[in-house]
Amino acid sequence: MKDPLHFNSLTIHGGQSPDKAYGAVMPPIYQTSTYAQTTPGGHKGFEYSRTHNPTRQALEQSLASIEAGTFGFAFGSGLAAMDAVLKLLKPGDEVISTDDLYGGSYRLFTKIFEDFGIQFHFVNMNDPKYIEAAINQNTRLVWVETPTNPMMNIIDIKAVSSLCKQHEILLAVDNTFASPYLQQPLVLGADIVMHSATKYLAGHSDVILGSLVTNDKGLAERIGFIQNASGAVPGPMDSFLTLRGIKTLHIRMQRHCENAAQIAAYLKNHPKIENVYWPGFEDHPNHEVAKSQMTDFGGMLSFVTKGANYESAIQIVEKLKLFTLAESLGGVESLAGHPASMTHASIPKEIREKSGVVDALIRLSVGIEDVRDLIADLEQAIG
């Protein structure tokens, strides 16, 4: 049975209880690799920290709770979490993935798992019929990332889920950009939800961590087995930091969304701007889907200035002062990035440009500073 609390309470209390030893309200950082046994097998539920650790367990319970799931798993990074999902597959299996994808995910698929005999198809998921066209008897997994990075396309999770159910294919959703504050893929029919908790969940740009959540007991058993057998687990300190970040997820996300909406409007009206990609615009091609599956439009947006090229885009990001030029997103501070040379440099230019990631594109992760200062910074950089 699901926790009856509302989301803004679950971020703080979901799956949490005072520590059993001394009643500590915050889970202690159990910095230990092993646990004393009174007789072989005589322990209190913890034997070895790759398998279980109380701090990580507190985080895993929180992750499950905020994603409306039953079983949560924490990993050493977002990519380690994805790696665990791909290990559910076998040589000969095929995967259909979003074409506008986080660069590191694309690299994991094509540079690691293709060599293990798994085949990937990258398709435009604006319409489920393109997914359907790529399905064959070997298709085992559909991998969705929405909003997409960095083009801010929105994929209809419910529609993809009903297609997957019809063909008995697993559906995994990378929910990093939205966070569960905006959208809960399991509720929309996904089998697995994945996060780079490095981003909005931890929220302070001070930790690398990943997660998976599912409601399916069989899947949970297999993921738990892979988590322990492959061993890509986070340490207790990083688990603690992520758990602390989650406690303010709802108020951070609210401000991220408010600031991004104001910046999107500012850029759209700017005479030097060619295009702004943000799902909150009524003329965004997937605006209606965004409205139906998300509670707000998020803190990420991308834009292209008029007549811009590789060099002029780099000039703008170098001129920004309050926006830090950096990889990553989702922290309290605003970041700017140049996907073509940074996050998406590992995707070949022809493939990248097909989905709109042109050399002139600039991506913003809008933080929670005073939005007037952020707009003033953009004004001086764009000129």
Ligand X SMILES: *Cc1c(COP(=O)(O)O)cnc(C)c1O
- What is the SS3 assignment for 11? helix
Residues 184, 189, 192, 194: is their CA dihedral positive or negative?
negative
CB of 145 to ligand X, least distance (A): 6
Closest to ligand X by CB, 81 or 188: 81
CB of 179 to ligand X, least distance (A): 11
Tokens 């170098």, residue located: 318
CB of 194 to ligand X, least distance (A): 8
CB of 191 to ligand X, least distance (A): 18
Active site residue 107: no
Closest to ligand X by CB, 236 or 298: 298
Bridge partners for 72 per DSSP: 213
Cβ atoms of 195 and 186 closer than 8 Å: no
Closest to ligand X by CB, 227 or 305: 227
- What is the SS3 assignment for 107? helix
Q: Which spans of this chain sit near ligand X (rule: CB under 6 A)?
A: 77-79, 102, 104-105, 145, 149, 174, 176-177, 196, 198-199, 208, 210
Bridge partners for 301 per DSSP: 364
- State which residue has the least CB distance to ligand X: 78
First to last CA, the chain: 55
Q: What distance in Å separates the CA atoms of residue 160 and residue 166, rounded to the nearest whole number? A: 10
Helices vs strands, H then E, count in the chain = 14, 12
Active site residue 50: yes
DSSP labels, 167-190 = HT-EEEEE-TTTHHHH--TTTTT-
CB of 105 to ligand X, least distance (A): 5
Of 19, 50, 216, 222, which one is the catalytic site residue? 50
Long-range contacts of 30-34 (CB under 8 A, 24+ apart): 30/54, 30/55, 30/236, 31/235, 31/236, 31/237, 32/236
Tokens coding 266: 């500012």
Q: What distance in Å separates the CA atoms of residue 150 and residue 352, rounded to the nearest whole number? A: 10
Tokens coding 108: 């994991």
CB of 87 to ligand X, least distance (A): 16
Closest to ligand X by CB, 279 or 308: 279
CB of 220 to ligand X, least distance (A): 21
Of 100, 181, 191, 199, which one is the catalytic site residue? 199
Backbone conformation region of residue 329, classed left if phi is above 0, alpha if psi is from -120 to 50, else beta: beta
Closest to ligand X by CB, 125 or 382: 125
Of 83, 100, 156, 174, which one is the catalytic site residue? 174
Active site residue 199: yes
Closest to ligand X by CB, 85 or 320: 85
Q: What distance in Å separates the CA atoms of residue 275 and residue 127, rounded to the nearest whole number? A: 22
CA distances from 94 to 116, 169, 187, 264 (A): 11, 10, 25, 38
Closest to ligand X by CB, 77 or 97: 77
Of 99, 100, 102, 238, which one is the catalytic site residue? 102
Find the DSSP H helices in 269-309.
287-293
Catalytic residues: 50, 102, 174, 199
